[in-house]
Amino acid sequence: MGRICDTPRVFHTSFRRFDRRPVSANLHPMKTLVLLVALLLLQTLAARAGTIHDIKVKDIDGKDTSLDAYKGKVLLIVNVASKCGLTPQYKALEALQQKYKDKGLIVLGFPCNQFGGQEPGTNEEIKQFCSTKYSVTFPLFDKIDVNGEKRHPLYVALAGKESPFPGDIKWNFNKFLIGKDGKILKRFEPRTTPDSPEVTQAIEAGLAAK
């Protein structure tokens, strides 16, 4: 009887010893595969991070569009206003557009009424003002919020926590320079004029980049 009772115990011990090695060995390729998939996913997310081309916007006429139309261009994105002390910057912005448009720069104007109520007009009124007063030819867009709970997704990307230049927009005519790949290159505060060396040098560097 003792031999009969001992047999299962010996068999069980032997099975555990035999089975442990192949199970452990088979886990290594699986772990490697999981790590590779995770790494590829992170690389994909990193490649997409900081780009703005897929963000949906409306143009000044209320038509749906996206910044994908400007892929491969250097962009200067500005929150604009018609009744601000900085409104004359429109002239310098249009000058930049004319000077660098053939080299790949596009100025994009986004009206905003969050600073002193200085952009109270309708889109049509804003469009007419810019055309008549400053002969603006660069694209204008639908009026948006750049701060607060209703901040437009574009400005979440430009000034939100994940941006390389985070922080609320301080006033009208804040400027963001976007590279050809859609990544944010520079942020310029409102009183930094569009024709300042700081801005023009950054634009030229962005245009020269491949």
Percentage of the chain exceeding pLDDT 70: 76
The structure tokens listed for 154 are 């574009």
Amino acid 14: pLDDT: 46
- Bigger pLDDT: 68 vs 34: 68
Q: For residue 119, how far is the Cα from the chain centroid?
A: 25
Q: What is the pLDDT of residue 47?
A: 42
Report, as an integer, the average pLDDT of 98-102: 97
Q: Is the pLDDT confidence value at 19 over 90?
A: no
H, E, C per residue of the chain: CHHHHHHHHHHHHHHHHHHHHHHHHHHHHHHHHHHHHHHHHHHHHHHHCCCCCCCEEEECCCCEEEHHHHCCCEEEEEEECCCCCCCCHHHHHHHHHHHHHHHCEEEEEEECCCCCCCCCCCHHHHHHHHHHHHCCCCCEECCCCCCCCCCCHHHHHHHCCCCCCCCCCCCCCCEEEECCCCCEEEEECCCCCCCCHHHHHHHHHHHHCC
Q: Is the pLDDT of residue 167 over 90?
A: yes
State CA 26 to chain mean position distance: 42
Tokens standing for residue 43: 């690389």
Is 187 a residue whose pLDDT tops 80?
A: yes
**pLDDT computed for residue 36 by the predictor:** 61
Is residue 179 pLDDT above 90, yes or no? yes
Share of the chain above pLDDT 90, in %: 74
The predicted-structure confidence for 115-164, as pLDDT tens digits, reads as follows 999 999 999 999 999 999 999 999 999 999 999 999 999 999 999 999 99
What is the band of 210 on the pLDDT scale with cuts at 50, 70, 90?
confident
Residues designated catalytic:
84
Q: Which CATH superfamily is domain 56-208 in?
A: Glutaredoxin (3.40.30.10)
**If pLDDT is split at 50, 70 and 90, which confidence band does 41 have?**
low
